[in-house]
């Protein structure tokens, strides 16, 4: 049995809590032994020891009623619960809590697809429903709707949306496509947002706003409540679809490509999120680094050039899709081709071009909502298992793209790492995802990765770039960079936390929101 206990809770009280929780969910579903599955809640990817965030136990209720009873016990005894579900949330800390000793509240058993409305194109899901599961449900029942999934197909539909993750079809902004929540507060109170607050509502999952203040947003990336059900809009299967990739031969092409993309996105010529991965990101799912370079430090230009030539990849690679009737696809593709043809050496690929190209295949699947796990092959690049995502937001301009790229690449190289990154253009902004890969079995390298990440937070903030999401170990650090007017926003978060969860039992420290005066 784990000897860890939640901070501030006596061993005696903790044993009492576990016994009472076992009486609710059954012995099997309160896990406090490493050999019985507790180790599956460890964060084994971050640049810090998994013991710094190892939970004392995990509890897995099967339904809302059991969850309510567990939460009431935790509330009464002051047991901190860290919520997770089907997803693994790797690169951001996995299912592990902020502090060692907290109890993981695992909602994986609450995994029912409660409803799919084929006509109005939405589903209602519980937290444990994965992308694979929802996709299979639609396939099995021959429902002509697409899901939009994150790259890791084992992720939770609800969990990813509530973390404000993104996908690859025109429905890629997952929180935007969410409609209607059921939420439980720290004292066990259950309520529904928007139209769901009506007893006999028939539009809970059709109209987001309801009547009165719109609350859904405060339950995303938050610890104010536990989302127990969520409506998610699904995309009707389009009459046509054409994925495309444009490879760009020079690093400098990033500037022009980004400026070309901005109006194409704002005017919705390209309806889905456009990705611009660099050479290494797009190659790493296909080959390990050691095939081209086994030396220390970042991969040299000569090796990069050989890899680009062998794999027929660009230094940057623009990836997106077109959807709808064929004449509309053809017209929009003409506009896009003309725009990118201004970049010397740009090469254009669509649909069945590039047979056998593993990365192109999984990108195409994602752009039509087919979940898979191929992107995990990025971890084969270095092979040591460690990875953490640095994810700043920036304007969609060539100047910003190049500035961010140069800033992060130069620091990564200084610390001995490759730059592996991609820009994801949304409605107006870009998510810049820098995947920091390191060998976690190498202590010195892991330490360097930790330090590099911290430095990047400060340097990005100094230039006005803030992260949209982060790993457990950097939540407080990043919260501090959102400090306008004497930390007014975070003070407000804490006031809300105090009002809704006065004992601070729900996911303490999530995004830097700690309870009370801690």
Partner 1 sequence: MVTRRTFLQGAAATGAGATLVAEPTLAGWLEAGGPVVAVVDQRVGSGRQFSEALRSQGIAALADEHDPAIVLARLAEEFAPGGYTVIGLTQMATFLIAERTGMDNGLNLAWRGDHRLLPNGQLQHRLRGRAETMSALALDRAGDSWAYSLGQHLVAARLPGGAEEQSITTAVARPRQQTGSLVSWVLVPRA
Q: Give the active site residues.
A: 92, 468-469
CA dist 132 and 372 (Å) reads 8
Which part of the chain contacts partner 1 (CB under 8 A), choosing from 120-128, 354-362, 421-429, 451-459? 354-362
Q: Which of 236, 383, 483, 502 binds partner 1 (CB under 8 A)?
A: 383
Q: Note whether 380 binds partner 1 by CB under 8 A.
A: yes
Q: Note whether 62 binds partner 1 by CB under 8 A.
A: no
Which part of the chain contacts partner 1 (CB under 8 A), choosing from 288-296, 393-401, 443-451, 467-475? 288-296
464 by DSSP, 3-state: which?
A: coil
Q: Of the two residues 36 and 518, which places its CB atom closer to partner 1 in the complex? A: 36
Rounded least distance, CB 307 to partner 1, Å? 12
Q: What angle do CA 507, 450, 168 make, to 5 degrees?
A: 65
Q: Note whether 289 binds partner 1 by CB under 8 A.
A: yes
How many amino acids of this chain bind partner 1 (CB under 8 A)?
Answer: 41
φ/ψ of 322, rounded to 5, equals -120, 150
CA dist 50 and 445 (Å) reads 16
Q: Note whether 34 binds partner 1 by CB under 8 A.
A: yes
Determine contact, residues 174/166, Cβ cutoff 8 Å.
Answer: yes
Determine contact, residues 396/324, Cβ cutoff 8 Å.
Answer: no
Q: Which of 36, 63, 326, 518 binds partner 1 (CB under 8 A)?
A: 36
Q: Note whether 303 binds partner 1 by CB under 8 A.
A: no
Rounded least distance, CB 142 to partner 1, Å? 20
Q: What angle do CA 321, 325, 329 make, to 5 degrees?
A: 40
Please, what sign has the CA dihedral across residues 215, 217, 222, 227?
Answer: positive
Q: Note whether 40 binds partner 1 by CB under 8 A.
A: yes
Short-list 199, 197, 160, 161, CA closest to 182: 197
Binding positions for partner 1, 422-451, rule CB under 8 A:
439, 441
Q: Note whether 215 binds partner 1 by CB under 8 A.
A: no
Q: Note whether 290 binds partner 1 by CB under 8 A.
A: yes
HSE at residue 74, side-chain half, CA atoms within 13 A, is 33
Q: Of the two residues 162 and 285, which places its CB atom closer to partner 1 in the complex? A: 285
Q: Of the two residues 35 and 485, which places its CB atom closer to partner 1 in the complex? A: 35
Q: Note whether 52 binds partner 1 by CB under 8 A.
A: no
Determine contact, residues 421/431, Cβ cutoff 8 Å.
Answer: no
Q: Note whether 153 binds partner 1 by CB under 8 A.
A: yes
Q: Of the two residues 82 and 362, which places its CB atom closer to partner 1 in the complex? A: 362
For residue 227, give every residue at least 6 positions away whose Cβ sits within 8 Å of its Cβ, in sequence order, or none: 127, 158, 162, 181, 182, 183, 219
CA distances from 64 to 21, 72, 307, 509 (A): 14, 12, 52, 24
Determine contact, residues 150/160, Cβ cutoff 8 Å.
Answer: yes
Q: Of the two residues 108 and 497, which places its CB atom closer to partner 1 in the complex? A: 108
Short-list 98, 83, 116, 113, CA closest to 475: 98
Name all contacts of 70-75 with Cβ < 8 Å and 24+ positions apart: 70/21, 70/24, 70/25, 70/105, 71/184, 71/186, 71/187, 71/188, 71/226, 71/505, 72/187, 72/188, 73/17, 73/20, 73/21, 73/24, 74/17, 74/103, 74/505, 75/186, 75/187, 75/188, 75/503, 75/505
Q: Note whether 198 binds partner 1 by CB under 8 A.
A: no
Q: Note whether 294 binds partner 1 by CB under 8 A.
A: yes
Binding positions for partner 1, 84-103, rule CB under 8 A:
88
Q: Of the two residues 208 and 368, which places its CB atom closer to partner 1 in the complex? A: 368
Q: Note whether 300 binds partner 1 by CB under 8 A.
A: no
Rounded least distance, CB 372 to partner 1, Å? 5
Rounded least distance, CB 169 to partner 1, Å? 19
x-marked contacts with partner 1 along 155-194 as a string, rule CB under 8 A: ----------------------------------------
Q: Note whether 485 binds partner 1 by CB under 8 A.
A: no
Determine contact, residues 307/283, Cβ cutoff 8 Å.
Answer: yes
Q: Note whether 302 binds partner 1 by CB under 8 A.
A: no
Rounded least distance, CB 386 to partner 1, Å? 10
Rounded least distance, CB 415 to partner 1, Å? 16
3-class secondary structure per residue, 278-323 = EHHHHHHCCCCHHHCCCCCCCCCHHHHHHHHHHHCCCCEEEEEEEE
Q: Note whether 372 binds partner 1 by CB under 8 A.
A: yes
Q: Of the two residues 95 and 194, which places its CB atom closer to partner 1 in the complex? A: 95
Rounded least distance, CB 387 to partner 1, Å? 10
Q: What angle do CA 346, 348, 352 make, to 5 degrees?
A: 155
Footprint on this chain of partner 1 (rule: CB under 8 A): 34-37, 39-40, 42, 44-45, 50, 88, 108, 132, 153-154, 285, 287-291, 294-296, 358, 361-362, 371-374, 376-380, 383-385, 439, 441
């Amino acid at each position: 049995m784990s000897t860890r206990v939640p901070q501030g809770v006596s061993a005696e009280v903790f044993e009492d809590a576990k016994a009472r929780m076992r009486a609710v969910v059954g012995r099997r579903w309160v896990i406090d032994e490493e050999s019985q599955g507790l180790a599956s809640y460890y964060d084994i990817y971050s640049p810090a020891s998994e013991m710094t965030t190892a939970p004392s136990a995990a509890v897995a209720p099967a339904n809302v009623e059991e969850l309510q009873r567990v939460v009431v016990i935790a509330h009464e005894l002051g047991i901190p619960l860290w919520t997770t579900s089907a997803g693994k949330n790797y690169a951001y800390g996995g299912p592990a809590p902020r502090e060692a000793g907290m109890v993981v509240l695992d909602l994986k058993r609450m995994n029912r697809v409660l409803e799919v409305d084929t006509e109005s194109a939405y589903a209602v899901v519980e937290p444990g429903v994965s992308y694979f599961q929802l996709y299979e449900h639609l396939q099995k029942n021959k429902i002509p709707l697409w899901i939009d999934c994150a790259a890791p197909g084992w992720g939770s539909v609800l969990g990813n949306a509530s973390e404000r993750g993104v996908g690859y079809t025109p429905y890629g902004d997952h929180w935007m496509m969410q409609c209607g929540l059921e939420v439980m507060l720290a004292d066990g109170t259950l309520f529904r947002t928007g139209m769901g607050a009506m007893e006999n509502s028939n539009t809970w999952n059709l109209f987001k706003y309801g009547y009165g203040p719109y609350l859904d947003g405060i339950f995303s990336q938050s610890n104010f409540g536990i989302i127990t059900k969520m409506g998610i809009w699904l995309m009707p299967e389009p009459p046509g679809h054409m994925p495309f990739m444009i490879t760009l031969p020079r690093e400098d092409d990033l500037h022009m490509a980004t400026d070309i993309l901005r109006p194409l996105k704002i005017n919705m010529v390209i309806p889905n999120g456009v990705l611009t991965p660099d050479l290494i990101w797009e190659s790493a799912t296909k080959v390990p680094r050691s095939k081209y370079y086994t030396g220390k430090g970042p991969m040299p230009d000569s090796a990069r050039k050989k890899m680009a030539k062998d794999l027929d990849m660009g230094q940057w690679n623009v990836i997106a899709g077109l959807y709808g009737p064929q004449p509309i696809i053809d017209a929009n593709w003409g506009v896009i081709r003309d725009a990118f043809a201004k970049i010397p050496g740009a090469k254009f690929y669509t649909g069945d071009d590039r047979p056998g190209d593993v990365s192109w295949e999984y990108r195409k699947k994602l752009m039509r909502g087919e979940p898979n796990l191929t992107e995990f092959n990025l971890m084969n690049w270095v092979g040591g298992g460690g990875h953490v995502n640095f994810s700043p937001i920036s304007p969609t301009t060539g100047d910003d793209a190049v500035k961010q790229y140069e800033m992060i690449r130069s620091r990564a190289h200084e610390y001995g790492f490759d730059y592996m990154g991609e820009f994801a253009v949304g409605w107006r902004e870009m998510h810049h995802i820098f995947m920091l890969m390191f060998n976690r079995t190498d202590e010195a390298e892991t330490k360097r990765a930790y330090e590099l990440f911290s430095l990047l937070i400060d340097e990005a903030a100094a230039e006005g770039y803030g992260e949209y999401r982060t790993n457990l170990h950097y939540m407080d650090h990043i919260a501090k960079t959102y400090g306008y007017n004497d930390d007014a926003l975070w003070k407000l978060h804490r006031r809300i936390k105090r009002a809704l969860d006065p004992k601070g039992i729900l996911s303490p420290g999530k995004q830097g929101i700690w309870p009370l005066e801690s």
